[in-house]
Amino acid sequence: MKLPKQHDIVRFSRTERQASIIAAAASLFAVNGFKGTTTREIAKTAGISEALLFKYFPTKQALYAAILAEKAPISDLLEMVEDAAQKRDDVRVFTLIAGYRIHRGSDPTLMRLLLFSALEGHELSDMFFQNQHRMFYDYLCGYIARRIHEGAFKRVDPLLAARGFMGMVAHHRLLHEIFRVPMHCSPEDAVLAYVRIFLDGLVSATRRPTRKGRTSV
């Protein structure tokens, strides 16, 4: 048996190994679902043993949390959204959130993971909803309510308005990621169009831009 030469042995750092496990697990879950994927298959796809897999992720919940953190990081986004909210920059607030959701479509596994988790009643579905969707709904609901109180937005149900906006973005992703409907414009143009359509219906009539681009009060 010929032993591998020293320079043929590939050594991975802990971070690289974790990333490879997360990628393997996410790809398998997105194709086979959670119930249809075993830890043995994950380990094999990642090129490691099951024992090593559990060394990095002692529980399945730890692996699910790592997938969620890898696929949908939001800390930087929240800082930018809050900064825009403090400045009452409505367009930027909604553009940041819609842009984040739509541009995450560059990762085709995320939507499939979420659908599988919801249909199978998997715990990742609740983790995602509580950490992501619920947070965005609650945040937008509070922001819309604040802008209604300030007279900038029409008097509408803030929670339904927030759900309506997020619903547009979710439907966009379903069309293009799951049903494979071809896009007729760039993701950037789609984001701008959704934000414009939404805010045109929400902004108070007394604060609509004039022809010269100024806000009438």
Can you give the CATH number for the domain in which 173 is found? 1.10.357.10
Could you tell me if 55 and 88 lie in one domain? no
CB atoms within 10 A of CB 17: 18
Question: Does 109 lie in the same domain as 173?
Answer: yes
> Distance between CA atoms of 200 and 203, rounded to whole angstroms?
6
pLDDT digit string, tens, across residues 98-139:
998 888 655 678 888 888 988 998 888 888 777 767 778 899
Average pLDDT over residues 45-55: 96
User: Does residue 212 sit within a domain?
Assistant: no
Q: Helices 90-103 and 134-149 sit at what angle, rounded to 10 degrees? A: 160
The pLDDT of residue 24 is above 50: yes
Range of the domain at 56: 10-63
Write b or e for each residue in 161-191: b if 16 or more Cβ atoms lie within 10 A of its Cβ, otherwise e: bbbebbebbbebbeebbeeeeeeeeebeebb
Same structural domain for residues 16 and 94?
no
Q: Does 17 map to a domain? A: yes
| Predicted confidence (pLDDT) per residue in 64-110, tens digit | 889 888 877 777 888 999 999 999 999 999 999 999 888 865 567 88
- State the DSSP string of 177-198: IIS-PPPSS-HHHHHHHHHHHH
- The CA angle 204-208-145, to the nearest 5 degrees, is 30
pLDDT at 4: 44
For the chain, the domain total comes to 2
Same domain, 168 and 86: yes
| Pick from 12, 66, 69, 77: nearest CA to 42 | 66
